[in-house]
């Protein structure tokens, strides 16, 4: 990536463009159906325009109320499944008080609905009729739901080793599931080959997904009475929450709503610590790392596509990257569920990170910390039951 | 029940009392930990006080914003798990346009959170430390969650024949599950015996549960811009939605907000048609009826406890009672899920009822109809997958 783009906040791109290539710096707009730059580089969101309270659409009860912050999209193309403002819940956890953002109280049960709702609305605006994707988890379910609502054909490539239970939701919406033998890379390769004839609606690659996730940042600040929390803790695999929140918080700083960025803390699972390793080593780019089983399947990512942007965003916010073991994840899961907060193990990674940061003094008892919980426990009821009963993990 | 209580809207009870016995008419208040009248009769909510927009607590984003309508409860006792206003979704269904109320986007995945949040808050205000209940479904999960949050011990009696998957959620929250051999009545008997030493927190018996469910009525009318829909269609087993909505709508009529009651349509599953049979026969009371398997497990009820009140409420609203077969439920489920709305089969019963009423002309194409969807599909992913793939049902 050229030096010119090493500015905090990511490549600005040419004025008026919504996306910018992280490799060559070329800008592009929403009118182009592209999931990567012509040079092959990954697309990022261009620098956010300043956002202030006056830009909110107050008549809109969902995250579309922040639509003026996002790349331009005619409201008539919005695909809706009943999105609400997700609740905040202040809770006394063993490591201290935290404000939990229950960002799984969405139609398909995970925060990915923010990103996929926006991504699929964009696809509809471009009259895309058929898409492919590779995901066996929450993103696949969300893509299947929103494409079903939009009348877009959806094919999802999945590892042949996946349990049918994990795929039941996407299949129920009517998506075609294609099992692929081999590892995760083989599945992605199969999707890429299929992308020769259909649009590759990769949530990890299309920056419109990030734009949707960014609505979380605006929503949090509005819910907190237009104040920034001191800290925000998120689970991190590909890092969409880090990038989306950073983008939104920068827009709010630029708009004069916030005096500075909240500190962004990315928490990984010890089995997939690529970002944590790069962070610990003071690197500017993230190398592939990790593998094997983990309780936190949702962030089992060997190498994030936008590693450089992730490191930059976390540094700019004076945040941290940490990784937690499955034992810490399980302990955090138990603490949440036994208080009535029913989340997927991947969500508990953020709570485990909060415990670590509260214990080591990074987060002071007097500071406000938001812990983002990303997936509903209803998606993993049997697993959670076994884990808490000591039959697994 | 004495003739004097045959007035529309149910027994008023002595002034200042929150509950009234359906059998002897005695009134009682929230300060008394009782799940039935001293005479053994079932308790109902006393007539609602008039409710107007000014009574809303606008600072409160959850259903507690309607707390002034409910029996009095100190706000400090409220038990919270992150409740939001559940979304409305206007959708074109095969039988016509409907406004779907996604009343499962709650912490535990079903509308029962309304009732159990209020019921458990009341128990906390009374310093109840330990409760028993008999439920293997959504109510048990919700009770387990809210008692966990309140620090109340929870024991749930369940049929020994239940699959462990169905119980995983309640167990994860920390509730003790006691399997009982025999039919549903044997399970209820076991809970009743245990109630000699612990409070019987029966959601079907405690009228505070109905008060919580009633918040749905206020919320719907506020979301629709302080207008009543022409029709509301709900699934009905014990009938808490019918009674709660009727109570709330009457309060809004008395408060001058609404000019009249929306028509309330109760939909049963053909396997458990007790209310539908009484309705068809023009009866004033509901006799036990039905049994066996049904897709709609959540409303598998042989006899509702408050049958007389149910019939009265539906008549007063100029509503209907109907029952649908599993084939209609499956067809409605498919129509919903293939449009991205992922619900439990029991919820699809209401959509099947809507189809019936739209087809027979009870609901005109120009009228506004709300279909209440009650349980998340995430609770039944494997079942739904099998059903839509034709492997079941």
What's the DSSP call for residue B108? T
Q: What is the pLDDT of residue A87?
A: 98
> pLDDT tens across B72-97, in order?
999 999 999 999 999 999 999 999 99
Per-residue confidence (pLDDT) for residue A185, from 0 to 100: 83
**Has residue A150 got a pLDDT over 50?**
yes
Nearest residue on chain A to B84, alpha-carbon basis: A87
Contacts of B385 in chain A (CB under 8 A): 164, 168-169, 171-172
| Residues B192, B200 contacting (CB under 8 angstroms) | yes
Q: Which residue of A has its CA nearest to B338?
A: A173
Report pLDDT for B118: 98
Query: B 372-391 residues with CB below 8 A of A?
Result: 376-379, 381-382, 384-385, 388-389
A271 shares contact with chain B (CB less than 8 Å): no
What pLDDT sits at residue B5? 26
> Is A65 in contact with A57 (CB distance < 8 Å)?
yes
The Cα-based distances of A130 to A141, A201, A307, B52, B246 in angstroms read: 16, 9, 30, 49, 46
Q: Is the CB of A109 inside 8 Å of chain B's CB atoms?
A: yes
Inter-chain touch A84–B80, beta carbons under 8 Å = no
Task: Return the pLDDT at A353.
Answer: 98
DSSP element (H, E) containing A266: strand A263-269
Estimate to the nearest angstrom the gap between the alpha carbon of A6 and the chain centroid: 23
Listed as ranges, residues in chain B with pLDDT below 50 are 1-14, 393
Looking at residue B392, its pLDDT comes to 62
Q: Which of B81, B85, B341 sits opposite A89 (nearest CB)?
A: B81
Query: What is the rounded distance in angstroms from the CA atom of residue B125 to the CA atom of residue B128?
Result: 8
* Winning range, highest mean pLDDT, from A147-151, A195-199, A377-381, B132-136: A147-151
Residues of B in contact with A381 (CB under 8 A): 165, 168-169, 172, 379
CA distance linking residue A362 with residue A372, whole number of Å: 17
Q: Per-residue pLDDT averaged across A270-285, rounded?
A: 98
Å from A218 to nearest chain B CA? 17
Q: Do B174 and A81 touch (CB under 8 A)?
A: no
Tell me what the mean pLDDT of segment A20-36 comes to. Answer: 93
Q: Which residues contact B84 (CB under 8 A, 6 or more apart)?
A: A84, A85, A86, A87, A105, B61, B62, B105, B106
User: Which of helix, strand or coil describes residue B19?
Assistant: strand
Averaged pLDDT, A237-263? 98
Do the bridges between strand A153-159 and strand B27-28 make them parallel or antiparallel, or are there none, so unpaired?
unpaired
Asked if the model's pLDDT at residue A231 lies above 70, the reply is yes
| Lookup: tokens for A8 | 């905090």
- pLDDT surpassing 60 at residue A5: no
Size of interface A-B (CB pairs under 8 A): 140
Q: What percent of chain A has pLDDT over 70?
A: 95
- What pLDDT is stored for residue A12 in this prediction? 43
For residue B15, what pLDDT is reported?
A: 54
Residue A288 sits at the chain B interface (C-beta within 8 Å): no
pTM: 0.95
- Whether B224 and chain A come into contact, CB under 8 Å, resolves to no
For the segment A156-172, what is each residue's pLDDT rounded down to a tens digit? 999 888 777 778 999 99
Q: In chain B, which residue's Cα lies nearest the Cα of A149?
A: B339
Please report which confidence band the pLDDT of residue A392 belongs to, taking 50, 70 and 90 as the band edges. low
Contacts of A337 (CB under 8 A, 6+ apart): A343, A377, A384, A388, B172, B173, B174
């Amino acid at each position: 990536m050229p030096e010119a783009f090493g500015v905090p906040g990511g490549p600005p791109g040419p004025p008026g463009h919504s996306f910018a290539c992280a490799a060559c710096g070329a800008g592009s707009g929403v009118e182009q159906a592209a999931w990567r730059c012509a040079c092959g580089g990954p697309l990022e969101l261009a620098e956010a325009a300043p956002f202030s309270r006056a830009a909110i659409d107050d008549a809109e009860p969902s995250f579309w109320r922040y639509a003026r912050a996002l790349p331009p999209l005619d409201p008539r193309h919005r695909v809706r499944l009943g999105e609400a403002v997700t609740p905040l819940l202040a809770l006394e956890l063993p490591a201290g008080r935290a404000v939990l953002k229950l960002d799984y109280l969405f139609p398909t049960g995970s925060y990915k609905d923010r990103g996929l709702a926006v991504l699929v609305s964009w696809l509809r605006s471009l009259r895309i009729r058929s898409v492919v994707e590779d995901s066996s988890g929450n993103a696949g379910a969300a893509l299947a739901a929103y494409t079903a609502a939009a009348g877009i054909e959806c094919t999802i490539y999945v590892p042949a080793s996946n349990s049918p239970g994990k795929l039941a939701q996407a299949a129920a919406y009517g998506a075609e599931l294609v099992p692929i033998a081999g590892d995760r890379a083989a599945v992605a390769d199969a999707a890429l080959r299929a992308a020769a004839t259909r649009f590759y609606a990769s949530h990890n690659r299309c920056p419109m997904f990030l734009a949707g996730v960014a609505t979380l940042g605006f929503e949090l600040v509005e819910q907190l009475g237009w104040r920034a929390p001191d800290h925000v803790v998120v689970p991190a695999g590909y890092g969409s929450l880090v990038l989306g929140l950073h983008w939104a918080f920068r827009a709010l700083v630029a708009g004069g709503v916030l005096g500075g960025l909240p500190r962004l803390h990315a928490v990984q699972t010890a089995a997939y610590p690529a970002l944590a390793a790069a962070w610990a080593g003071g690197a500017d780019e993230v190398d592939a790392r990790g593998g094997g089983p983990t309780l936190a399947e949702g962030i089992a990512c060997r190498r994030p596509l936008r590693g450089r942007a992730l490191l930059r965003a976390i540094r700019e916010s004076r945040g941290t990257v940490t990784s937690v073991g499955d034992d810490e994840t399980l302990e955090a899961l138990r603490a949440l569920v036994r208080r009535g907060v029913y989340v997927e193990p991947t969500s508990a990674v953020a709570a485990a990170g909060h415990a670590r940061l509260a214990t080591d003094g990074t987060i002071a008892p007097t500071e406000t910390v938001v812990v983002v919980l990303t997936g509903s426990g209803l998606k993993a009821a049997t697993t959670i039951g076994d884990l808490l009963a000591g039959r697994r993990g």
